[in-house]
Each structure stands twice: as structure tokens, then as C-alpha cells.
Amino acid sequence: MDQVMPVLRYHPVVQMMHWVTFWLMLFVYGVSYLEEFFPKGSDERHFIWFAHISVGLLLLAIVIARVIMKNTHKAWHIQHSAEEKKVTLVHTLLYQLMIVTMLIGIYLAFVRGNDVSFFGLFSIPSPIEPNPELKGIVKEAHELFANILILFILLHAAAAVFHHLVLKDGVLHRMLPDRK
């Protein structure tokens, strides 16, 4: 008879932060495509970017908190075996891509001459002069990094599904709540 191995799960706080990150990332990426439905300068288009930037700042704070937690609360994370060190490398790359993409986005707002507002609670004024020549390059870099990030997120999800359906090793369950 096959012995059932217990499923190692990430700490519930880690799981929650993972899924909040996922949903916020989906929102930030998706809402940016709505701008095309509204004319430049309209209140609706302004609200889209207000939401994109505010949620992006929230996402940046959560990702930084996740990195700090990962490095300070080892007991909250599954310790991977030597052959699974690539998992740590992939996660590190995902964190780095998220942070760099968001920092480029903040820089884009500054290059445009905009303050960066967090849900209207506070604003970070642009520390630099607007630079219309640089704006297009920074916007393309932000979009490129965002698209690369989404590709890596899709590959990350595909790997989890592959582990679940093909390898049947319980990897997907690590990030899901225990259903006792």
C-alpha cells in the first residue's frame, strides 16, 4: 500500500501575501489596458492611472515585506532541498523583476513630471525635472519589464500546474490553505 506523504505548506501569512500579490499584480497589469477607452486628459483616464500607481505602490510595499519576511522568518518558509535550489533562484528572479518593474514605473511618473500618490493619502513629489525626451524610453522599459514579469508569472503558474497534474508531488498545495 502506498504511504501518503504529508503536504508541507507555507505559513498562512506567506500564502495570503502570495495570493494578494497575485491579485494586485493582475489588477495593476490589467487596469493599464483600460486607458485606451478614454480620451487623454479625461477624469476616467486620470482615475485609471491613479489606481494603477496607488495599487502599484501597495504592491511594492507588499513585495518588499515578502522579501524581508523570507530573509528574516525562515520558519515561515519551506526549506528546499539541494536539488530544489532552482526554486529559490526563480522566486528571487520574480521578486527582482517585480521590484525593478515598479521602480521603473515610479521613475516614469517622475520623468513625466507627476507626483506619485498613494490613494490620495500622501504624495511623493517628483525629485526631477520633467523630461519629454526620456519619457518614451522609460515607458517602453516599464512596459517591457511588465511583460517579461507576466511571462515569468505564467511560467511559474505553469510549473505549479505541471507539478500538480504530472508529477503529483503536492507542490501546488504548499501555497493553498489546509482544508481540514
pTM of the model: 0.88
Helix residue spans in 79-126 (DSSP H): 85-111
Burial class (CB in 10 A: 0-12, 13-18, 19+), 59: buried
Average pLDDT of the chain? 89
Sign of CA dihedral 158, 160, 165, 168: positive
Residue pair 38/44 in contact (Cβ under 8 Å)? The answer is yes
Q: Given this model, what pLDDT does residue 124 score?
A: 95
Q: Of 153, 61, 68, 67, nearest to 106 (Cα)?
A: 61
Question: Angle at CA 144, nearest 5°, toward 141 and 145?
Answer: 85
Task: Say which range, 11-15, 139-143, 171-175, has the weakest mean pLDDT.
Answer: 171-175
Tens digit of each residue's pLDDT (9 = 90 or more) over 49-80: 999 999 999 999 999 999 998 888 876 666 65
Tens digit of each residue's pLDDT (9 = 90 or more) over 3-24: 444 567 888 898 999 999 999 9
